[in-house]
């Protein structure tokens, strides 16, 4: 019972923090995602357990991220994308995901291994983590700069398709 209460309180505190950051982002001219990452990083430095009596550590497990947060992000992407524009650009998006992702990861891994002398396997892992982009941050920049809608759909479609592929691979491998 105590663990369930801690998890529910942890989720509520996370929501309150995210809503507070959203209000702050609306007041200042700073992207929401950048502020959210900054606040999240700050919270890792100053653990909440000291102040609130519980920790958010057990809340953010591998399974929670894969089975709770990732499906919500993918659903949001599928609901918000321009479906007609997505269908017209589907071939480019699929090629970018199925060919571009492995090529980019291999390039990052190989170049990093040669430049820094770090083992190739570690650099490949780094490439797999560093290459995928945050579509929300990029799309907010596109919206502010007035980028063409086709470019936004290509980036959004590629990012969400890549998350689908990586989610599938992580569950099957």
- Output the CA torsion sign for 128, 137, 159, 100: negative
**Domain extents in the chain:** 1-60, 61-173
pLDDT tens per residue across span 131-150:
776 666 677 777 777 878 88
Residue 57 DSSP label: G
pLDDT of 64 over the 70 cut? no
Report DSSP letters for 97-141, one per residue.
IIIIHHHHHHHHHHHHHHHH---HHHHHHHHHHHSS--HHHHHHH
3-state helix, strand, coil in the chain (%, to 5): 85, 0, 15
Query: 0.75 cut: is pTM over it?
Result: no
Q: Which of 104, 95, 103, 90 is nearest to 133 (CA)?
A: 104
Q: Which residue has the tokens 């890792």?
A: 44
pLDDT of 85 over the 80 cut? yes
Share of the chain above pLDDT 70, in %: 67
Higher per-residue confidence, 171 vs 24:
24
């Amino acid at each position: 019972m105590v663990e369930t209460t801690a998890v529910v309180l942890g989720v509520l505190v996370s929501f309150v923090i995210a809503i507070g950051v959203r209000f702050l982002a609306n007041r200042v001219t700073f992207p929401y995602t950048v502020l959210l990452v900054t606040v999240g990083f700050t919270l890792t430095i100053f653990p909440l357990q000291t102040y609130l009596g519980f920790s958010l550590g057990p809340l953010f497990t591998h399974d929670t991220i894969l089975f709770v947060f990732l499906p919500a992000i993918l659903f949001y992407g599928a609901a918000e994308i321009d479906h007609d524009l997505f269908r017209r650009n589907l071939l480019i998006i699929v090629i970018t995901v199925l060919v571009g992702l492995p090529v980019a990861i291999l390039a990052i891994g190989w170049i990093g291994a040669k430049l820094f002398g770090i083992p190739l396997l570690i650099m490949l892992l780094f490439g797999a983590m560093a290459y995928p982009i945050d579509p929300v941050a990029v799309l907010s920049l596109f919206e502010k700069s007035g980028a063409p809608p086709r470019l936004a759909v290509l980036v959004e479609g590629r990012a969400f398709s890549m998350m689908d592929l990586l989610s599938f691979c992580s569950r099957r491998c």
